[in-house]
A and B are shown apart, each in its own frame.
Chain A
């Protein structure tokens, strides 16, 4: 099994305190992988590092994906902005028309199709500030569909989402898997991860374990993760872990 992403001794820090600390792991290609860990474990930071949105302090990321799609946490979007559902979804084709080009008829058609497949037919002209949290998440998934990416990164896609919407959107994720796309999702619902995600990466700033979910999410590992995340040393000295060998 080839790796879509290879993290090699990755460290990312905010104000010199590491948020992701010497993490080495592989994300299998064409599979769906869950990133799990307590709050503040560096899960979102890890996604942002994969996207190149935050600076790496140490280590590197090897990425074989040509096109990456990213679902941010909803708090990062101004949902009161007056833009329609169709326009929002169409942005998924940004790589095709960029900042200045014209959206082709085909793009609009595909956008409508994507809106349909997330169950929002008839919502095309609605401004996004009239949508519920769940409906808006469907809109963002439609945009991801349009991005046609081989690597999809989802940051807490199911936070504050009802069961029906989770089921529908999980359907989209499984569809990506069938299409041989790699999906990485930050998740908190461990039962859901055990049920739906064959691979996991357990993070508590440092890597606890990564691999098959049944092994990674053991009681012992989860306990370790919790203990690691709670320790935050105000007086921490400089870290001098030597560069580890590539896993």
Chain B
């Protein structure tokens, strides 16, 4: 092929453009830390990275939800543990009643029992840090009417859940319940009524009814203890479920984050080596181009002598 003077110039411009584009790309990758900036840099990688990014965002959202669920399930379990202690204490008071106990001593126990009912009311009607009643169902009402000391009809037994993993809700609220609505104070299947059991026991003790205190009241308080115990267990199970989910979410988030970073972020050692290679190539290209372009017959032409 015939080579003309502009062939060299065009070659130098063309190769210089190509190498400078590659240098600019590498410089960008190293300075931003991302191997791709625009989706078109690598559509296949982008598609994968975008999905990973969505998954990562979802994991972060679930982690946030799990943190809230942790707080709520711990609150529930703490409340049930306290309630269990109250009912157990009530059982101990009843167990201490003897047939020959004086009326005065029984009234003292009745006073203690009434205090336990107050403590129970305080626990059951407690509010969370957000000011909402914890155990009044979704109605945000106190389960026990402090004026009458009886169940509040405005409360309901609806519990709530939080999704801590995709498709995995964990119960994060428990309801006190009321006659006709099951909860940790009332169970329609066994006919257990915790509030009524303690109030009846206090009443019998105050009235000196040892027979009732040693018989029906003990049975009722034992049933109440069983009901509350089951809630201590279920709230502990919920707490454990959230804890396990949190651990899994943390591991998945770390893995997903690493996957995304490996996919999108620049491999700095490899990019640095590539940059050095490209620099050398560019220098060689410029040197070769400059040398060839400098060659000219004009440098060798002297004065033309006439024959």
Does A associate with B in a complex? no
Point out residues on A near B: beta carbons under 8 Å: none
Point out residues on B near A: beta carbons under 8 Å: none
